[in-house]
Chains A and B, each alone.
Chain A
Amino acid sequence: MEFLIETILSGLMAGVMYSLVALGFVLIFKASGIFNFAQGVMCLFAALTFAGIMEKTGLPWPIAFVMTIGVMVFVAWAVERFVLRHLVNQEPIILFMVTIGLAYVLEGVGDILWGSDVKVLDIGLPSGASDYMLDNFNIYVEKLEVFAALIAAVLVGFLAIFFQKTRIGRALRAVADDHQAALSVGISLQTIWVIVWSVAGFVALVAGTLWGAKSGVQFSLSLIALKALPVLILGGFTSIPGAIVGGLIIGVGEKLAEIYVGPFVGGAIENWFAYMLALAFLLVRPQGLFGERIIERV
């Protein structure tokens, strides 16, 4: 019984980490209809910059963190100024291709600026097993993962309020819905894009930091973006709660599958289980659990 709970818990915690990456995708997709392939690389780039600034300047981490936020806002501005602005009203597939290019550019720039060796991101995040859980329930839980879950919860709460209740959140949703109408009520597309890419950059920084603290900042970090895809398909591309729930389902699902189904098929299920689940979902519920169903009067 303890083992089952432990598996589920560790699945949930891993799921939270996927959710954080997926969140970044959802934000940009929601506000601009662009599937941002570069989101994973943005996590990597943010974590690299964060670790790099600390390594080269020796500044304490909060200052380095704020500086990294500055860098991500600059990236957002540059993306709007030099890329998106020139591609208004283009087909989604063209914008998608652009984000693939952007992924390579960011990866290259990160490499040039900070080098390609694995960096340790030591900012004093809690690590090791939680003694409390081990002593009282005989369950092994990583402190870092609990911390990540807390951070994710705060972030999601903040984003939900931001999107639903604020003027800018409303403007973001408006832009996602209809460009012309948004312009006519006085929303500047350019400003909105910079804001949304900045927020996505911030989420990438948080996700990258947590992943980096867990397994070091290395270039394979950008590949976790691929794990975010099934999360998105499950949760729906436009839903923030969907990204969270999707991440949790994938996290728990793959751990359980590995342990209870794995032995029968020779193991290593964890690597592909998420994609199979996503495929199954596409067949039954293509808009995802929380995705907006397109309602159109004909």
Chain B
Amino acid sequence: MSAFVEPARMAGHSGMAKGEVLLRVDNVSLSFGGVKAITNISFDIVKGEVRAIIGPNGAGKTSMLNVINGFYHPQEGTIAWRGKVRRKMKPYEAASNGIARTFQNVALFKGMTTLDNIMTGRGLKMKKNFLWQCLHWGPALTEENEHRRKVEEIIDFLEIQAIRKTPVGRLPYGLQKRVELARALAMEPELLLLDEPMAGMNLEEKEDMSRFILDVNQQFGTTIALIEHDMGVVMDLSDRVVVLDYGRKIADGPPDEVQASQDVIDAYLGVPHEH
């Protein structure tokens, strides 16, 4: 595992120091037709932290992630990435800018093996000429092997050696989630978005996953934004929490502060809502 930690990477790709604002969302609103998914939300994600986004079902959490990685483009508001306000960013541009993510309902390439799935995460880092690749020879082969080595390190890190060659469609849910995390890690992202990484897991799997998330954050210095329903997990893992309800932000701060907020308690316990 220790071979995986490179001091150079701890600082992150952009050379931003820990504590600087990595991503800032300003007054973002998103609607689908007449339905408002997100209303005027602002928050920031700081380099090196674990940021949780929580809220009841339908609060707009996943929409928020989709806005960050470019699946959706908000009608209003701006998003600044590494201090620069970005224009409409397509998902693959977000990916090449260092934003990786996992999905609520595992989105893996089901026909491919674990190894191939993770290798797709290296795609952006592979630069060798198309013709070389077709020949599968010379520089392209060397490159392929280098990336393969990196992928093996990630496989060791997440302890999924045994399922390396298994088509992921056959794996149990918990392992699929882990492969999805591996694929995102293979991109060596600066910001990792996790959409309910522990949904549908048993206690043991949850503990494993929590440990992996903390390790990723601490060892690689990867900034993490995660959506999670399990409050115990959120309180343990995160440095700061933003709470959404009905597409609005109702709280933002350290876990214990947020937990004590009356708005949050109301939102979770279901006080009649005023429109």
* Residues from 161 to 210 in A contacting B, C-beta threshold 8 Å: 161-162, 165-168, 170-171, 173-174, 176-178, 180-188
Q: How far, in whole Å, are A277 and B136 apart by their CA atoms in the complex?
A: 38
Q: How large is the interface on B (under 10, 10 to 19, 20 to 34, 35 or more residues)?
A: 35 or more
Chain B residues proximal to chain A, CB less than 8 Å: 69, 71, 90-92, 95-96, 100-101, 103, 107-112, 116, 119-124, 126, 130, 133-134, 136, 140, 144, 167, 169-170, 172-173, 183-184, 187
Interface residue A6 (Cβ < 8 Å from any Cβ of B):
no
A181 touches B107 (CB 8 A): yes
Inter-chain CA distance A176–B91, complex, in Å, is 17
Contact across chains for A186 and B123 when beta carbons are under 8 A apart? yes
Complex contact B111–A292 (CB within 8 A): yes
New contact pairs (9) apart from A162-B133, A162-B134, A174-B120, CB-CB < 8 Å:
A161-B134, A165-B144, A168-B130, A170-B120, A181-B108, A183-B90, A184-B91, A185-B120, A186-B123
Chain A CB count within 10 A is highest, among B120, B121, B126, for B120
Q: Which of B71, B107, B116, B126 contacts A178 (CB 8 A)?
A: B107
Inter-chain CA distance A180–B102, complex, in Å, is 10
Which residues on A sit within 8 Å (CB–CB) of B108? 177-178, 181
Q: Assess the B173–A297 pair: CB atoms within 8 A.
A: yes
The answer to whether A174 and B109 have CB atoms under 8 Å apart is yes
In the bound complex, do residue A185 and residue B133 qualify as a contact, i.e. CB atoms below 8 Å apart?
A: no
What band does the interface of chain A fall in when counting residues whose beta carbon is under 8 Å from B? 20 to 34
**Closest A residue, CB atoms, query B169:** A295
| A272 at the binding interface (Cβ < 8 Å) | no
> Among the interface residues A174, A188, A296, which one has the most CB atoms of the partner chain B within 10 A?
A174
Instruction: Please name the residue on chain A nearest to B140 by beta carbon.
Output: A166
CA distance A165 to B144 in the complex (A): 9
Tell whether, in the assembled complex, residue A177 and residue B111 are in contact, meaning their CB atoms are under 8 Å apart.
yes
Docked complex Cα distance between A297 and B169 (Å): 7
